[in-house]
């Protein structure tokens, strides 16, 4: 691997957006890759960790402001890319870092207002980015199957993180990275060795969460119960590993100013009231394919909701999640003995 060069290629065909999956190297239709000097000037956005080739793909010359504002940064990068850089991991960070701080990660169960939270923070002047494919290597089959590869994949991830912060952060404010819900599985390796011990965890009550996910995606009742349980297991880990700020969707919707005052104190960053109001007035996923539920999605949920409720109540997941939420004095999700209005 030593001595491999940084390669560059031009995009020859527009990439179709897909907001529901992680990026892959095949998403870019490029001409031939050729050797190039390390990019100078505008920092490049790290886009895809290419495990098979031991490289990370970067997109240079993106509008940093629009990238920070995008509800899905990976989609913005794919659709706006004019060229791609392929950087071998042994080359280290591409964006010679001037910012040493680690990001504050937002972990979540998904479908719980985390994109809305990103929108609030962006309008309030807190730098960050939403859903970069930052931890794909840490949840990959290779990471699970080959223990000897794990240090290398963690190093590739650390390089990605450093270049992400260098491209979009600053030295005056915390940099908040809103993660995909799948990356709850990567909490431990992602935080290993990080100097920033603050994290944010966001979720919503199981009944409304499962309805939202079930209407939007083709998933099974077992998947819904397992994923919600997995996300709260991540929250339990985050509480033990550092200083985790808990935020519930229902509380954010009911009392956004109160919740943002709490979060402001946690971040050490003021947020103007009008920025919160502006964000609450706009659909956080407007213009994306997640903006509206289809008729098929509504029918799919109606057909499965009773089975979801029964599995939630009988599998032990309700008791498990209630225990996690109660251990830190947090409001409990729907648990045993509570009515389920599925």
Residue 74 lies in a domain: yes
Residue 71 lies in a domain: yes
> What pLDDT score does 334 carry?
40
> What pLDDT score does 41 carry?
58
Higher pLDDT, 329 or 279: 279
Per-residue pLDDT tens over the stretch 171-205: 888 999 999 999 999 999 999 999 999 999 999 99
Question: Is pLDDT at 281 greater than 80 in this prediction?
Answer: yes
Q: Residue 337: which of 309, 313, 312 has the closest Cα?
A: 313
Tell me the pTM: 0.92
Q: Which of 89-98, 130-139, 222-231 has the lowest mean pLDDT?
A: 89-98
The CA distance from 139 to 149, in Å, is: 13
| Length of the chain as a residue count | 342
Give the residue numbers spanning the domain of 36: 7-196+255-293
Residue 213 lies in a domain: no
Residue 243 lies in a domain: no
Neighbours of 72 (CB within 10 A): 25
Structural domains in the chain (count):
1
pLDDT > 90: percent of the chain: 79
Average pLDDT of the chain is 90
Average pLDDT over residues 293-317: 94
Query: Using an 8 Å Cβ cutoff, are 194 and 158 in contact?
Result: no
Average pLDDT over residues 136-143: 97
Residue 170 lies in a domain: yes
Query: Using an 8 Å Cβ cutoff, are 90 and 255 in contact?
Result: no
The CA distance from 231 to 241, in Å, is: 15
Residue 342 lies in a domain: no
Higher pLDDT, 20 or 330: 20
Q: Residue 42: which of 96, 90, 123 has the closest Cα?
A: 96
Residue 38 lies in a domain: yes
Residue 289 lies in a domain: yes
């Amino acid at each position: 691997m030593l001595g491999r060069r940084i390669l560059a290629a031009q995009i020859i065909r527009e990439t179709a957006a897909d907001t529901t999956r992680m990026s892959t190297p095949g998403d870019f239709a490029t001409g031939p890759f050729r050797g190039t000097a390390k990019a100078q000037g505008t920092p490049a956005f790290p886009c895809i960790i290419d495990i098979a080739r031991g490289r990370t793909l970067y997109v240079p010359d993106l509008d940093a402001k629009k990238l920070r504002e995008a509800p899905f940064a990976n989609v913005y990068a794919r659709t706006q890319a004019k060229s791609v850089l392929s950087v071998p991991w042994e080359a280290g960070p591409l964006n010679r870092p001037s910012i040493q701080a680690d990001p504050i990660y937002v972990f979540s169960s998904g479908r719980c207002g985390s994109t809305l939270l990103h929108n609030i923070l962006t309008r309030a002047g807190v730098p960050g980015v939403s859903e970069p494919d930052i931890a794909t290597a840490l949840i990959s089959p290779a990471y699970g199957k080959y223990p000897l590869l794990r240090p290398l994949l963690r190093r590739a991830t650390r390089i990605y993180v450093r270049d992400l912060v260098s491209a979009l952060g600053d030295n005056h404010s915390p940099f908040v990275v809103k993660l995909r819900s799948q990356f709850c599985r990567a909490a431990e390796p992602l935080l290993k060795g990080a100097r920033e011990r603050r994290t944010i965890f966001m979720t919503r009550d199981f009944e409304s969460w499962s309805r939202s996910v079930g209407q939007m995606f083709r998933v099974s009742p077992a998947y819904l119960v397992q994923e919600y349980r997995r996300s709260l297991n991540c929250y339990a880990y985050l509480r033990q590993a550092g200083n985790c700020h808990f935020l519930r969707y229902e509380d954010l919707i009911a009392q956004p100013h109160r919740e943002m005052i709490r979060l402001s104190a946690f971040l050490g960053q003021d947020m103007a009231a009008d920025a919160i109001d502006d964000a609450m007035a706009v659909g956080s996923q407007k213009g994306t394919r997640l903006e509206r539920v289809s008729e098929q999605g509504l029918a799919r949920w109606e057909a499965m909701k009773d089975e979801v409720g029964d599995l939630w109540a009988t599998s032990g997941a309700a008791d498990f999640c209630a225990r996690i939420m109660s251990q830190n004095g947090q409001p409990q999700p729907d648990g045993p003995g509570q009515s389920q209005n599925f």
